[in-house]
Amino acid sequence: MNVGSILLRYAGWRLGLSALCGLAGGAALAGLMRLAHRTLTLPAPDLPAAAAQFAALLLVYFAGTFFAEHAVSDAAERLQLGLRRSLLQQMLRLPLRRLEQLGPARLFTALAEDVKAIADYLCYLPDAVIDLAIALGCFAYMAWLSPQVFLFNVGFVALAALCYALPERRAQRTGRAAALARERHAAQIHYAVEAARLLLLSPGRRDDFGTRHFAPVGDEVRLLNRSYRLLHLFAERFAEALVLANVGCLLFVLPRLVALTPATATGLLLAAVFVRAPLKSLLKVFSRTREIRVRVGRIGEAGLDVFAPPPATAVPAPAEPFRELALDAVTFHFESDHGQPGFGVGPFSLTLRAGEVVFVVGGNGAGKTTLAKLLCGLYPPESGRVLLNGAAVGDEAGRARLRAQFGAVFTEDPLFGHVLGVAPERAEAPGNALLAELQLGDKVRLAGTEFSTTDLSQGQRRRLLLVAALLEDRPVLLLDEWTADQDPHFRAFFYEELLPVLRARGKTIVLITHDDRYFRHADRVLKIEAGRLAGA
């Protein structure tokens, strides 16, 4: 499939209409050029008729070019929105581990910059069609005036196109390298935003990041972009110089080889000068098309497909009553890094029963969060079995059923300004009750699904995430070091008052924690050491 497939899907008949209008507008402009040449030798009585033809052609040019661009302008916006939505839906169906490997910078580049470039390419096509019509009209006029000169011009233009294509191909390779460098630079910007507190606190780290990491990659981006622009500029200007050299041949060489009347020579010269700008524009189409193919390829490397139809909206099946979840000798390994074996966890063998409160403890990097992701179906096991209510979970559909059992708040989860996945009429009253229960009723209100504010402390923002998770009303609640950001007073309230309330409401709770003084509130405490259950 080619880039045209995606353009046709979103532009459809508008693309055809734009092409027809563009051809009409370009042909009208070429006709204006021919009429201008004829008018130079017209007798005075014929000038009014020529003026009327000029006005008619000018009207066709205006209408054709206006509707050519108008026809695709809305389509380009629909392409940008529709393609971005399709890619976002595809992205959210990728395995979590793949998303973690790609990273936010790569995905943001695909959904923001690459999609916008494809939409801009669609907007550029009407001008290309208009220029094509002008060029064809000019060459047709040259062929009518002198077939020999026409063939000479075609050969010269072919030579100019070849001289453009060779350095432009090198420029595109440089452009791909620049795109990779820009992604690394974007990742650094993302880090700087996320780590602003750390960098502000430590001038040494801030200076180290700026001088040894950010600046070198920025220089690499600058140099690659400069090389790309230099190659592209050389290709463009050299091809343009060849087209102008063609004009010089019409002035100084061809009159010595081909018998031309002054009127014919003037018409050929006018056509050659007139066609220069359209040819320059058409040459750019090739580089833009190659650039779009590179961007489409980069999107594909991320596991996304711009040619795929938008995924059907999944209708979640009602979650089955939760009785128990078992891991039977489950293992998971991260990918190798620079030839070193990746970190692995397991084998885990444990059973989580309905109504239990289970604490998971262990040192940093022990594998607690990885175990949590295996429990809730975000990571597929490398070996072993996962059983939900006694039935094996062996495929993506099974893991989707497993995920439907869990509401979760992980350590790095961002906060959105709305509660997602819950109808407004089912969110507002229960949500405000939960906000009051979590001691936020005087700071935040829920109007439909929208929080009145998210400008809160980190601990309070984590409480809003808990509200959103509880409103989904799933049987199992998984909290990844949720209490770490709470003040001592609220932490005690959570363990001593809120946990019993949640248990009484039928919740099964898995809590990753370091709060050993509250271990008495758990039915069981699972300790992870070096990726294994202690004592297993």
Top-confidence residue, 260 or 218: 218
Sequence-ordered strand ranges (E) for 470-517: 476-480, 508-512
Does the residue 109 lie in any domain?
A: yes
| Last residue in a domain, options 266, 301, 336 | 301
Could you give the CA distance from residue 512 to residue 509 in angstroms, rounded to a whole number? 10
Q: Tell me the CATH number at 246.
A: 1.20.1560.10
Does the residue 489 lie in any domain?
A: yes
3-state secondary structure of 32: helix
C-alpha closest to that of 141 among 253, 30, 250: 30
Q: Indicate if 285 and 391 belong to the same structural domain.
A: no
Does the residue 113 lie in any domain?
A: yes
Could you give the CA distance from residue 241 to residue 234 in angstroms, rounded to a whole number? 10
The whole domain housing 352 covers: 324-533
- pLDDT of amino acid 462: 93
Q: Indicate if 442 and 339 belong to the same structural domain.
A: yes
| Mean of pLDDT values over 473-490 | 92
Could you give the CA distance from residue 189 to residue 258 in angstroms, rounded to a whole number? 63
Q: Indicate if 252 and 369 belong to the same structural domain.
A: no
Does the residue 316 lie in any domain?
A: no
Angle separating helix axes 458-471 and 424-437, nearest 10 degrees: 140
Q: Which residues contact 482 (CB under 8 A, 6 or more apart)?
A: 409, 462, 466, 511
Q: What percent of the chain has pLDDT over 70?
A: 96
pTM: 0.73
- pLDDT digit string, tens, across residues 326-350: 999 999 988 765 555 678 888 999 9
- pLDDT digit string, tens, across residues 424-470: 888 999 999 999 999 998 999 999 999 999 999 999 999 999 999 99
Top-confidence residue, 104 or 410: 410
Q: Indicate if 292 and 379 belong to the same structural domain.
A: no
Q: Indicate if 135 and 277 belong to the same structural domain.
A: yes
Here the tokens at position 134 are 């002008």
Q: Tell me the CATH number at 484.
A: 3.40.50.300
Does the residue 364 lie in any domain?
A: yes
Number of separate domains in the chain: 2
Q: Indicate if 371 and 453 belong to the same structural domain.
A: yes
Q: Indicate if 338 and 401 belong to the same structural domain.
A: yes
Does the residue 193 lie in any domain?
A: no
pLDDT(316) > 60? no
Q: Indicate if 444 and 411 belong to the same structural domain.
A: yes
- pLDDT of amino acid 237: 84
Neighbours of 201 (CB within 10 A): 10
Does the residue 76 lie in any domain?
A: yes
Q: Indicate if 248 and 397 belong to the same structural domain.
A: no
Does the residue 188 lie in any domain?
A: no
The secondary element (H helix, E strand) that includes residue 351 is strand 344-353
- Give the least confident one: 127-136, 143-152, 306-315, 363-372: 306-315
Q: Indicate if 282 and 372 belong to the same structural domain.
A: no
pLDDT(319) > 70? no
Buried b / exposed e over 116-147, threshold 16 CB at 10 Å, is bbbbebbbbbbbbbbbbbbbbbbbebbbebbe
Q: Indicate if 255 and 395 belong to the same structural domain.
A: no
pLDDT(536) > 50? no
- pLDDT of amino acid 461: 93
Could you give the CA distance from residue 289 to residue 121 in angstroms, rounded to a whole number? 8
Q: Indicate if 286 and 409 belong to the same structural domain.
A: no
Amino acid at 353: R
Top-confidence residue, 153 or 491: 491
C-alpha closest to that of 327 among 398, 396, 381: 381
